[in-house]
Amino acid sequence: MEEEEEKGKAEADERVSVVQLLEENLGLLKRLNAVLFPINYQQRYYVQALASGPFSQLAFCGDTCVGSITCRIERTLAGRRLYILTLGVLAPYRRLGIGSKLMNIVLELSEKEEDLLDVYLHVQVNNEEALQFYKKFGFEVQDIIRNYYRRIEPPDCYLLSKNLARKLVTAD
């Protein structure tokens, strides 16, 4: 079974292409989100996703948009942070490495940004599959936030983050 799954991942990886979210393909993200998530995203979400530049990506299998990752860059006094707004893959395309491919792109880009402190996100407490997925990439649970979600059950979530390794510069 594992051997078949690995073969499927390798075949899918060859057929999967990833492109940056742009104004021209924003409609694809809107349609994808309507299928993937129980939330109706407002225009502000799409503006933030577009503003993050290469940190928001769409995944295609052939001509079909099958997944996405969207992010928001936040500026703090200590430096910039990257918040993962959404990461999702259509059900028939899951377990083929597409979500991992999207995550790896974002993490590789994050490592190159010197003033980016961390990458963080929220995961609903009952979403064990997502929790394990993010832990695989080095994310750690920082907190449980009660009543984070207003219109979905359960309303609680985990706050996960991944600190980015930075080399400290010391004066001699």
Q: Which residues are catalytic?
A: 83, 122
Q: Are strands 116-124 and 157-163 parallel, antiparallel or unpaired?
A: antiparallel
In this structure, are strands 116-124 and 140-145 parallel, antiparallel, or unpaired? Answer: unpaired
142 has which bridge partners? none
Dihedral angle sign, alpha carbons of residues 26, 32, 34, 40 = negative
Q: Does residue 71 contact residue 83 with C-beta atoms inside 8 Å?
A: yes
Buried b (16+ CB within 10 A) or exposed e, 3-32: eeeeeebeebeeebebeebeeeeeebbeeb
φ/ψ (deg, to 5) at 147: 55, 40
